[in-house]
Structure 1
Amino acid sequence: MSRNLCITAVDGQTGHLIAELLLTDPNFSKRFKSVAGLTLDIEHEHVQQLESLGAVIVPHQPGRERALTKQLKDLNVDTICLIPPTHPDKYDITFELINATKKANIPNVCFISAAGADLADAKKQPRLHEFIALEHLVMAAKGDTSTKAGHSPVVIRAGFYAENLLLYATQIREEHILPLPVGDAHKFAPIALGDIAQVAAHVLSGEGPQGFADEHRGQLIVLTGPMLAAGNEIATAAGKALGFDVKYEDISQAEAKRVLKSHSELDSSEMEFLLEYYSLVREGKTNYISTHAFHDITGTHPTELEEVFKLYAAEFQAQGDGSDGHVSKRRKTKK
């Protein structure tokens, strides 16, 4: 049965790429009657592109839960991909989205969370930790007989996006250094955003007698990249892909904040999230990989870190200022 899908935050990178993949890949697009995109920024280039591909664009006005619920009902949405938006009020907006999903009785719910959130300290890493409360809200619908929203749930904990390393394109291009505040001892496993989109697309398009495919329904899916790497190993992977030596430089949290602030399009909440994730790395809480789910769901191998740098080689080799490699402008998915 063809589904009526809604994807939230399609003006952001994750929502945009998932929606684009579903609309353009015939293996996925044939499974949907309609794809609606919820957006906080109706004029965003991502939104306009998706509209040109056939998405139904729905303006989202936070603070109007009743109106949002009606919009979802009017669109006959039976499947939703809940993506917290990049916004200072991310938690409140997502809380509202989840409540509207429940009130609209949407049975198939895929929530995009964050890997590492379960290890975050509520005081030291509040932006990361708040994902746990949102996960609880999604999962609590399972025992709520007043809504169908708990019938077929999936939670995807997405790891550190490898594309965030594009934020350091200027330093890599001009100084041949990768400055990160992650220390020298511990490691993490960046994952390509395209791999997150692939898993989400398989989940959203999968079908079973209870909604989502039985192999996905009820799953808590943790996704990281396939290479567990310290800062120097990430720099080495970059150098191999780009054809010149790149050295890792361990920097302070304060300096890391100054580097991130140089990107005017980087939202303050996203900057806080990145800094908190780096602090998890320094604490040794990210010394793991989680790739079995990716293999099981897609039947393929996740993108190697060196390959990610090759995909974006032009970003690191082009001439220009620091905005050239901004993470919010260019992200790709494997075909």
Structure 2
Amino acid sequence: MKTAIVVGAGIGGVAAALGLERAGLRVTVLERAPELGEVGAGISVWPSAVKALEELGVEGVEKAAVESAPAGMRRPDGRWVLRAEALGVEVPVMIHRARLHELITERFQGVSVRTGVTVDGFVDGAVRAGGEEFRADLIVAADGLRSVVRRALYPAYDGPRYAGYAAYRGIADIEVDDGGGETWGRGRRFGFARLIDGRYYWYATENRAPGVVGADVWAGFGSWHDPIPKLLEATGEVLQNDIYDLRLPLVPFVQGNVVLLGDAAHAMTPNLGRGACTAIEDAAALPKHLKNLKAYDAERRPAATKLVRVSRTIGRVGQLDSGLLCGIRDGAITLGGKLAGVRARKRAVGQSPV
């Protein structure tokens, strides 16, 4: 039986391990955390990722999640820029990251997971961790934005790029009569959606220099429209991190018997809510290309590159801090939404959208 090592046990890593096990490989997962699991808050799972999970044999995602309501976009004072009900766009389901991780790992049959293992090098085809060497027929680097394996394979690649803003995330245990959506201000954004257990997942972004810790979320968003202050008040722990993506062009996802997957291959800003979904789609694609790994690169790198670029562009527009430019932005989004709504209604009645 052929063997595989997966470096990293985040959502992409465990999805890849599951897919490879189902393809007949003996899989070992190396994870630096002391326990197997996932931290964080909510996550959007788009239809394409739900389909990929089904291909991997993961069931129950939609039962453990709630469909997001396409509520639209508002200004900080609560005025609507765009109501999304009539756009006819696909919507994701919202699920807690930890629950999605559980749904994947519950499907493991014989995957060996070694926790507390910090990979510190990759030399001569071997993964090195704490003086040990790990070798396999296939090595999958799912070790995140600052991937040790990627740096070893492509030492000249600059890698992560700071996007210019930070993100906050939290879970609010509260009942509110609001469908959610996003609110865009000057250099700041706030979004929220309901989870299936009735709690609300929220996220926010704010322009600032990297490395600032302990920022006051209330200072930036406490005066925004309801229910944003209520969500902040009902939140316990607030997660905070600077936002990075990978520089373009992305490096090849395959070198020899080594495959890059998830953030190690294509870390993107969270503006599309597609980062983990793209990692899941990587994991579903990989078992199909085990006889020709370059085909995996040919399928996944162009798709991921497009998402990195589009997500970066949305972030730049969303984080504008000029009052004039924000006004132009909001007006353009309102007009674009109206035109998209007209096209959606025409499609619904079988007319040509043009």
**What band does the TM-score fall into relative to the shorter chain?**
0.3 to 0.5
The structure whose residues are more often helix, as a share, is: 1
Higher normalized contact order (CA 8 Å, seq sep 6+, divided by chain length): 2
The structure whose residues are more often strand, as a share, is: 2
Mark the structure with the bigger radius of gyration. 2
Query: What is the TM-score with the length of structure 2 in the denominator?
Result: 0.34
